[in-house]
Amino acid sequence: MLSTRDIAVRAGPMRWNDLPPEVQHSVRLCFADGIAVMLGAVRLEPAVLPFAAHARSHGPGPAHLLAGGTAPPVAAALANGALSHALDFEDTFDAVGLHVNAAIIPTVLALAESEGKTLGEALTAMALGAELACRLGLSLTNDPGARGWYFPPMIGAIGAALAGAHLLRLDADQTIAALSLAQVQFSLTDALKRAPASDLRAVRDGFAARAATEAILLARAGVTGTDDPLFERGGVIPLLTGDAADPAPLAAFAHDFLTPTLTLKLWPACRGTHPAIALALALRDEGLTATDIKAAAFTVEPPDDMLFEPRADRIRPQTAIGAKFSIPFTFAHTLIHGAPGLSAFSKTARHDADVRALASRITLRACAEGAGRTAHLTLASGETDRALAPPPPLTAGSATMTDLAAKFRDCIGDRPDALSLLHALDTTDPEKPVSDLVAQLAYPDPSTKKDTT
């Protein structure tokens, strides 16, 4: 079984040219995808705006805020991190249900700008952080939700801490300290999944990125933590599951890479809704309309029961992120209007009377381990069962920037400068300073806008 020290030692010597070509390609694509989604959140998710304002209140600093302005690195990591999951459109490690780069990208951006690092250095750090997060997720032997934890951002914070420690060239002792210090600063309870009025589901990774960034800087300054913060009694994995980690997924850390298996979303909603969206699209292709669906009862497996409860909010979502976590809403909207883009979750779209009427006829039939995923449809012509399956995934290893062109446009809107930069990231010189890229991608500082009235 690897220890935290083994992981720190293995990660330490890795450099950009050590990464296999498919990993280099994958991490470039995930980086561009993540930034596009973050820029989209600036335009479309009001819940992120207080984080940018809070970061600006710390005064100018060496790190750009994608929402405009600059700030010290810890504040920038919080503000940019609040953007990364706000649209629920970023990359996913489907084997565990982790958004591994949601905390890693804002952490790496803040530190790379502050420390004058290159794109190649930032992407190498990102690849290692994502690798650790994926393998920690696979090592879980029990469901952390059963113990009251909402674990994806907690594991993301650990991946971000390793990424930042590598970026700043911390030694093994300092890296262990950074992982320990990240752990003690950040946790989330399972309650956030069932709190429809809370913004936490949208902005959660900002707290993970802030904890990781602060931990890295404190570790470099000499603050120490525990000896084996990932695996010791009370370490991250035993804390989450009540059990030791499965050693098998961890054995290949920094030898084989899972980054090419990360999937890139083409629909901006919780991955658990995607089979229902795919079914709705198939029914549309068959010529069915909302009036043909008298009722639909879904059988799913945990934790997808949360996509039906609390029922009132899943039928009439109060927020965009609430709608993205609703099978009744996403199924109804897709059947009526087609594949969802970002506008599908606007206030106007959430108040669509026809969508709400159909959503009210969508229920949870059963949720249990091993129950499978099906929809029992009551149609005007009779009853039928349909299997639920997502469309073939778009993986970071096989996708291209062209595959993401429509998504980038949906996220960024009328900013051809940013679109060009993102499309060029798959060939951008790895020696290019990260600060040059971020300065061009960020929105203007709203506090410097001239009054034209």
Query: Residue 162 belongs to a domain with what CATH number?
Result: 1.10.4100.10
Average pLDDT over residues 394-398: 97
User: Are the beta carbons of 155 and 133 closer than 8 angstroms?
Assistant: yes
The pLDDT value recorded for residue 144 is: 94
Confidence of residue 321 (pLDDT cuts 50, 70, 90): confident
Secondary-structure breakdown of the chain: helix, strand, coil percentages, each rounded to the nearest 5: 55, 10, 35
| Percent residues over pLDDT 90 in the chain | 91
When mean pLDDT is compared across 153-157, 182-186, 219-223, 445-449, the lowest value belongs to 445-449
- Quick one: 325 and 305 in the same domain? yes
Final residue belonging to a domain, choices 366, 387, 408: 387
Contacts 24+ apart (CB under 8 A), 235-241: 235/4, 235/183, 236/136, 236/154, 236/155, 236/158, 236/183, 237/136, 237/139, 237/140, 239/149, 240/140, 240/144, 240/147, 240/149, 240/151, 240/154, 241/140, 241/141, 241/142, 241/143, 241/144, 241/147
Position 283 in a domain: yes
- Quick one: 209 and 314 in the same domain? no
Average pLDDT over residues 139-159: 95
The pLDDT value recorded for residue 71 is: 98
- Quick one: 91 and 169 in the same domain? yes
Position 420 in a domain: yes
Q: Cα–Cα distance between 321 and 345 in angstroms, integer? A: 8
Position 208 in a domain: yes
The domain that contains 374 carries what CATH number? 3.30.1330.120
Number of structural domains found in the chain: 2
> Which domain, by its residues, includes 351?
271-387
What lies within 8 Å, CB to CB, of 427 at 6+ separation is none
When mean pLDDT is compared across 259-268, 336-345, 417-426, 441-450, the lowest value belongs to 441-450
| Percent residues over pLDDT 70 in the chain | 99
- Quick one: 419 and 362 in the same domain? no
Average pLDDT over residues 160-169: 98
Higher-pLDDT residue of 390, 297: 297
- Quick one: 48 and 20 in the same domain? yes
What lies within 8 Å, CB to CB, of 117 at 6+ separation is 111, 167, 433, 434
Burial string for 340-359 (b: 16+ CB within 10 Å, else e) reads bbbebbeeebbebeebbebb
Final residue belonging to a domain, choices 387, 404, 436: 387
Three-state secondary-structure class, residue 14: coil
- Positive or negative torsion for Cα 253, 254, 257, 263: positive
The pLDDT value recorded for residue 199 is: 86
Tell whether the model's pLDDT for residue 434 goes beyond 80: yes
Position 322 in a domain: yes
Position 243 in a domain: yes
What lies within 8 Å, CB to CB, of 143 at 6+ separation is 241, 302, 303
Tell whether the model's pLDDT for residue 450 goes beyond 60: no
The pLDDT value recorded for residue 392 is: 86
- Quick one: 190 and 304 in the same domain? no
Position 71 in a domain: yes
The pLDDT value recorded for residue 201 is: 85
- Quick one: 315 and 362 in the same domain? yes
Position 425 in a domain: yes
- Quick one: 120 and 133 in the same domain? yes
Average pLDDT over residues 142-158: 95
The pLDDT value recorded for residue 449 is: 65
0.85 exceeded by pTM: yes
- Quick one: 239 and 332 in the same domain? no
- Quick one: 182 and 281 in the same domain? no
Beta-sheet pairing, 362-367 with 374-379:
unpaired
Q: Cα–Cα distance between 408 and 406 in angstroms, integer? A: 5
Amino acid at 354: D
Final residue belonging to a domain, choices 363, 387, 411: 387
- Quick one: 144 and 203 in the same domain? yes
- Quick one: 36 and 93 in the same domain? yes
Q: What's the mean pLDDT when you consider all of the chain?
A: 95
User: Are the beta carbons of 340 and 271 closer than 8 angstroms?
Assistant: no
Position 453 in a domain: no
Tell whether the model's pLDDT for residue 135 goes beyond 50: yes
Cβ neighbourhood burial of 68 (10 Å; 0-12, 13-18, 19+): middle
The pLDDT value recorded for residue 453 is: 45
Average pLDDT over residues 296-311: 94
Tell whether the model's pLDDT for residue 138 goes beyond 80: yes
Find, among 42, 60, 278, 254, the residue nearest to 163 by Cα.
254
State yes or no: cis peptide before 444, omega within 30 of 0.
no
The predicted-structure confidence for 198-222, as pLDDT tens digits, reads as follows: 888 889 999 999 999 999 999 999 9
